[in-house]
Amino acid sequence: MGKIKNLMGQKFGRLTVLFFIQIKNHRARWLCKCDCGNLIEVASSDLIGGNTKSCGCYQSMRAKEANLKHGYASRDNKKRIYKIWAKIKRRIFNKNTDGFSYYGGKGIKMCSEWMDFINFKNWALENGYKDILSIDRIDSDGDYKPENCQWIPINENCRKAALERWKRSKSRGR
């Protein structure tokens, strides 16, 4: 290989150099195998200088982790329990959200403990949360807090909500 430093067998980050490929644009290029199994062609200077440490999988993994909140949400995949928590917060704090007038707009709050998703998740799991259940405020005029919330079947919660809407319409004289 002449003046080219032999990198075969060396490891750079997640990349193991398999063999020399060619000189391209005055740079020695190597075939490397990433820890994830992908093969990638990399220039010597990028390996030695630390500019390339993986096939791209490491950066993708870090980006995905950065987009996760508490390990429960990402743009593409939000676990149901996280969606429930986020929806409660939207109903209470976001004036532009459908239903705000029935929640935050009428003074319903979320207890300070539940402002942290982990605390909400822990309460939910300790109090019977299952994906087939829906959060329910026992007193529909009360706040979202442990002593006023329970998990009930979704269809039961829908019936309860429909009854509440009917009562509100009757109280307004409709």
Same domain (yes/no): 84, 56: no
In a domain, 16, yes or no: yes
Q: Are residues 49 and 122 in the same domain?
A: no
Q: Are 151 and 128 in contact (CB under 8 A)?
A: yes
In-domain check, residue 98: yes
- The residue with greater pLDDT, 173 or 163, is 163
Shared domain for 86 and 35, answered yes or no, is no
The verdict on 105 and 165 lying in the same domain is yes
Q: What is the pLDDT of residues 49-76, one digit of tens each?
A: 999 999 988 877 776 665 555 555 555 4
Helix axes 80-93, 117-126, angle to 10 degrees: 120
Please give the tally of structural domains in the chain: 2
Q: Is 112 exposed, middle or buried (0-12, 13-18, 19+ CB in 10 A)?
A: exposed
Contact 81, 114 (CB under 8 A): no
Per DSSP bridges, beta strands 27-34 and 39-43 are antiparallel
Domain assignment present for 2: no
Give percent of the chain above pLDDT 70. 89
Q: CA-CA distance, 132 to 102, in Å (whole number)? A: 24
Is 1 within the bounds of a domain? no
Give me the chain's average pLDDT, please: 87
Residue at 5 is within a domain: no
Domain range for 118: 76-171
Confidence bin at 78 (pLDDT 50/70/90): low
Does 44 score more than 90 pLDDT? yes
- Report residue 103: phi and psi, to 5°: -125, -95
Task: With cut-offs at 50, 70 and 90, classify the pLDDT of residue 169.
Answer: confident
Give the SS3 label for residue 30.
strand
For residue 126 the two structure tokens come to 């300790």
Same domain, 55 and 81: no
Amino acid 138 reads: I
User: Is residue 4 within 8 Å of residue 17, measured between CB atoms?
Assistant: no
